Amino acid sequence: MRILVVEDEPILNGQLVQAITNAGHTVESAHDGVQAHYLGEVEEFDAVVLDLGLPELDGLTVLRRWRTAGRKMPVLILTARSAWQEKVAGIDAGADDYLAKPFHMEELLARLRALLRRGGEHASAEWQCGPITLDTRQARVLVDGQPLMLTSHEFKLLQLLMQRKGEVLSRTELSERIYAYDSDRDSNTIEVFVGRLRKKLPPGSIETVRGLGYRLMEPGGPDS
């Protein structure tokens, strides 16, 4: 999943980025409202962690502009513990959940998982495709109940394919979702990661659709 973290306090920003990255997600970060608004407009995110007390442009304004522009990604706002008015204003502006500071990182990750499940078809923390199980809570993959060792990029790739199981995803789309906004995105490297991942999964799990991209299928299914 691709997550945007918006927090102006450098240490907390870094802690959030590290924790969410460790949970198996691709993370972008912004330190002010102008940067956050821009990234939310030009990039696709599965969820946003948004602090309301931002320099340049406050978080509520950023959120309202996103919603006015039709941006529907789930947003978890961070508020001061005593500022109940901020919580109400945030929900009214289109936030999906809120968390008061200070907070435990485990709770933030749990709320983020809930938002991601709510925003997609996966009601459980465990996603299934035939013998393949992806546990979003533990950021691990099992095949027939046995742990599968994956690199971080392989895990992110499989997560994207499982999120949209049966759909064809192009190399460009996969590249944009796996790599950071300011990195050198080379869609050709996706072919390498698909090849490595294909060798670790049961035969027939990843189908190549010539000229279009890749899709995840249940091994042994009618389309594999």
How many Å apart are CA 28 and CA 49, to the nearest integer?
10
Mean pLDDT over 191-211 rounds to 92
What sign has the CA pseudo-torsion 28, 31, 35, 41?
positive
2-119 and 126-216: identical CATH topology: no
Specify the higher pLDDT residue, 187 or 12: 12
Contact assessment for residue 95 and residue 88, using Cβ atoms and an 8 Å cutoff: no
How many Å apart are CA 154 and CA 177, to the nearest integer?
13
Mean pLDDT over 87-109 rounds to 90
Phi-psi region of 207 (alpha: psi -120 to 50; beta: other; left: phi over 0): beta
Q: What digits encode the pLDDT tens for the residues 207-223? A: 999 889 999 998 765 44
Segments of 7-96 assigned E as strands: 26-30, 47-51, 75-80
Helix (H, G, I), strand (E, B) or coil at 111: helix
**Is the pLDDT at 76 greater than 50, yes or no?**
yes
* Beta bridge pairs of residue 213: 209
The pLDDT value given to residue 90: 85
- What are the boundaries of each domain within the chain? 2-119, 126-216
8-state DSSP, 44: -
Can you identify the CATH homologous superfamily of domain 2-119?
Response regulator (3.40.50.2300)
How many Å apart are CA 180 and CA 29, to the nearest integer?
10
**Is the pLDDT at 224 greater than 50, yes or no?**
no
Give the pLDDT band (50/70/90) at residue 59.
Answer: very high
Domain 126-216 belongs in CATH node 1.10.443.10: no
Helix count and strand count (H, E) for the chain = 8, 11
**Is the pLDDT at 10 greater than 80, yes or no?**
yes
Q: What digits encode the pLDDT tens for the residues 134-186? A: 987 788 899 999 999 998 889 989 988 988 888 899 988 888 777 766 555 56
Q: Give the containing element (helix H, strand E) for 86.
A: helix 84-93
**Is the pLDDT at 65 greater than 90, yes or no?**
yes
Give the pLDDT band (50/70/90) at residue 127.
Answer: confident
Q: Which two tokens stand for residue 114?
A: 């809930």
Q: Which two tokens stand for residue 159?
A: 């997560």
The pLDDT value given to residue 68: 92
Mean pLDDT over 65-88 rounds to 86
**Is the pLDDT at 28 greater than 90, yes or no?**
yes
